[in-house]
Structure 1
Amino acid sequence: MRRKWPLRNIILSSLWTLSTLESYRDVAERFQTSKSVICDHLHEFCALIVEHFPDKIAWPKGAEAEASAAGFSLAGLPGTLCAVGSCHVPIDKPQGVPVPEAYLNGKMFYSVNLMAFCDHAGRFVHVSAEHPGGWHNSQVFRATEVGRALERDPHALLQGRHLAGDATFPLSEHLLTPFPDFGNLAARKGRYNRRILATLQAVRGAFRALHARFRRVKSLQMHSVAKTSTAVRACCILHNVCLENNNPVLLDDTDCDTVSQEPFHLLPNGHSGSLGGISKRQDIAASLSKKRPQDVM
């Protein structure tokens, strides 16, 4: 009741700002207000979305976990609960952080690493968007709540299943990654790698849909890491709401900001994987048929 600007305008202008790449000044002109009003209410809107709808991003349990594992089995990798991946969210040089240069990534722009875990349908089940873009994915993974939970009690988190990630993540019995490919992979290893790639399409597709729905993710123009993280999380929540309501998105040529990284096993402190992970990967590769389950009639 104390607001000078109608709540309807706040919601519509915030959604418009997140959905387009119009400059903040142009958005202000569209809604007949000032740039500062648009920016202030955008921060407020995102904070309220994150505060009031945290349950829209939830780790799969029970029936949801069963459905996700079944969905990934159709992609050809049995026992997978979630796929993990990352992209970079550009930011202005951050303020109020101990080492701003840590946010300078391999492509030489400042960013935060958006690391996301998705179920088979491309729904975000956990996101982290506050760690520096200069960090390697393996370092970001260890710092996420999921990474810490895996160290404490992997069974409680995964219920005997595993995650799937690309070669930038450390191989373990709880996180499966591709076989290193030097051009002479055995047929079963190549088949396994193709199944991993098909599994990872869930998280890559989620990133594409997120950027298509909320183009502002590519140009938030914020100096605050905390505000950037809140805005990105709000967009991920709204993405999940769109999936719940079967609201389709028109995918286009919009690219996610990815940064090439060394495979984990080639890092100075890297390794080829835990013994349990190496054994589990070999066993799954040996068990895979030449055809994916959905190809067998």
Structure 2
Amino acid sequence: MEKISFILANNAKIMYCLHKKQKWVKCALRAHHKIRRYMTLAFLKKIHGKYRRFWTCVEKSSFWENDVPTFKNDKFKNTFRIDRSTFQYLVDRLKNLQRADTCWRNAISLEKRIGIALYSLASSAEYRTVASLFGIGRTTVGEIVLEVCREIVFEIVNGFELLGFPQCYEAIDGCHIEVKPPKGEASDYFNFKGWYSTILFAAVNYRYRFTYINIGVQGRCNDSSIFECSALKAYHINNVLFARHFKFIEGVKVPILLIADSAFKLSPYVMKPFPFSVDQIEGEKMFNKKLSSCRRVVENAFGHLKARFRKIGKGLEVNIKNVNTIIKACCIMHNICNNRNDNINQGWIQQSDF
């Protein structure tokens, strides 16, 4: 009996010691964490000049949530510089800008993101003012503006993808327009087709709109040499956005590209068809078919230009110094008509083919 009491007493002492040690360990850990917390706060104070108690600063503003929905159409357009219908069009087309809510905070809605970008671009207000108006941070305003602008630029790529060729930005080609050059310069304008011409070199998007034009090169030059010396090539080489906006297709990293016919040089920013061969494999045939069908937009744009403005198709009998101005004006009017859905008459296209 005495032995049992002795064992129980020893066990009680051991448990008591363990309990005290456990309490001491917990106290030591709390003290350690407290010291680390104060050291972190002291470091933040040294950097920012003040303590940072919260990871996000909650701004309160009722402009977008309460005021904008009550705007009449005139006031909405005066504020954002576009109609509500155009705003909704952007919302429908820029779905990739939508962000998901997280456990930490709710994401800024797609409509608000586009509204922030439009207000920033449409007004002369500083980002600090826009941030206060929409109840977000100044840095967030800058990030949203850049994200929306990038998405609008690369929306053209999505258009070509619907046509069947992903990662395409524009289609490029050249068009010969007949002119009457001075006798002393006639040999420079004599083209491989056997007549005198100047070349309209252009880049066209999937909507048949001219996004780049190079006018005035003599007809004896070829399209590839014009492109190699053009500002369009330099723009694609130096624009890092095209390289960064890549996409993996069948395991291959594909950047934003221009598409062209077989006369152009193959490069990291220009895609051309596979060379023709009698025993060409099926995959190459399919690739060439897709590329040619999408590249047709630039040929169709030239066809519409000549059909609408027949003087371009039949030839310009004016002083060679005035040719560039006339062609440039016709390209601009072509874009205006295209933008306003002033469609080309199919009968005009048939007449221009003869």
TM over 0.5: yes
| Distance (whole Å) between structure 2 residues aligned to residue 255 and residue 164 of structure 1 | 26
Q: Is the Cα–Cα contact under 8 Å of residues 211 and 256 in structure 1 kept in the other structure? A: no
Q: Is the Cα–Cα contact under 8 Å of residues 85 and 203 in structure 1 kept in the other structure? A: yes
The alpha carbon displacement at 1:156 in A equals 5.0
Q: 1:138 aligns with which of 209, 215, 224?
A: 224
Q: Is the Cα–Cα contact under 8 Å of residues 310 and 352 in structure 2 kept in the other structure? A: no
User: Are 1:90 and 2:175 matched, yes or no?
Assistant: no
Q: Return structure 1 stretches of 4+ with deviation > 3 angstroms.
A: 61-64, 156-160, 254-257
Q: TM-score, normalised by structure 1?
A: 0.60
Look up the SS of the partner of 1:62 in the other structure.
helix
The alpha carbon displacement at 1:200 in A equals 0.8
Look up the SS of the partner of 1:240 in the other structure.
helix
Q: 1:74 aligns with which of 141, 162, 180?
A: 162
| Distance (whole Å) between structure 2 residues aligned to residue 239 and residue 198 of structure 1 | 22
| Distance (whole Å) between structure 2 residues aligned to residue 169 and residue 136 of structure 1 | 9
The structure with more radius of gyration: 2
Aligned positions of 1:76-225 closer than 5 A: 76-94=164-182, 99-151=185-237, 153-156=238-241, 160-218=255-313, 219-224=315-320
The alpha carbon displacement at 1:108 in A equals 1.7
| Distance (whole Å) between structure 2 residues aligned to residue 62 and residue 148 of structure 1 | 19
The alpha carbon displacement at 1:246 in A equals 0.8
Aligned positions of 1:218-297 closer than 5 A: 218=313, 219-224=315-320, 226-251=321-346, 252-255=349-352
In the alignment, which residue of structure 1 is the partner of 2:74?
none
Structure 1 residues 64 and 241, CA, compared in 2 at 3 Å: closer, same or farther? farther
| Distance (whole Å) between structure 2 residues aligned to residue 170 and residue 76 of structure 1 | 22
Structure 1 residues 102 and 74, CA, compared in 2 at 3 Å: closer, same or farther? same
Structure 2: gaps (5+ residues): 1-148, 246-254
Cα root mean square deviation, aligned: 2.2
Equivalent AA in structure 2 for residue 108 of structure 1: G
| Distance (whole Å) between structure 1 residues aligned to residue 196 and residue 165 of structure 2 | 35
The alpha carbon displacement at 1:233 in A equals 0.8
Structure 1 residues 89 and 72, CA, compared in 2 at 3 Å: closer, same or farther? same
Q: Deviations over 1:205-262 (max 9, x none)?
A: 11111111111112211231x42111111100000000111101113224579xxxxx
Structure 1: gaps (5+ residues): 1-60, 258-297
- Larger relative contact order (C-alpha < 8 A, sep ≥ 6)? 1
Aligned positions of 1:54-69 closer than 5 A: 62-69=150-157
Look up the SS of the partner of 2:322 in the other structure.
helix
Q: Is the Cα–Cα contact under 8 Å of residues 123 and 243 in structure 1 kept in the other structure? A: yes
Higher share in helix = 2
Q: Is the Cα–Cα contact under 8 Å of residues 211 and 254 in structure 1 kept in the other structure? A: no
| Distance (whole Å) between structure 2 residues aligned to residue 231 and residue 126 of structure 1 | 16
Q: Is the Cα–Cα contact under 8 Å of residues 189 and 218 in structure 2 kept in the other structure? A: yes
Q: Deviations over 1:50-71 (max 9, x none)?
A: xxxxxxxxxxx73443221111
Structure 1 residues 65 and 255, CA, compared in 2 at 3 Å: closer, same or farther? farther
| Distance (whole Å) between structure 2 residues aligned to residue 148 and residue 253 of structure 1 | 37
Q: Percent identity?
A: 25
| Distance (whole Å) between structure 1 residues aligned to residue 154 and residue 241 of structure 2 | 15
Q: Is the Cα–Cα contact under 8 Å of residues 149 and 157 in structure 1 kept in the other structure? A: no
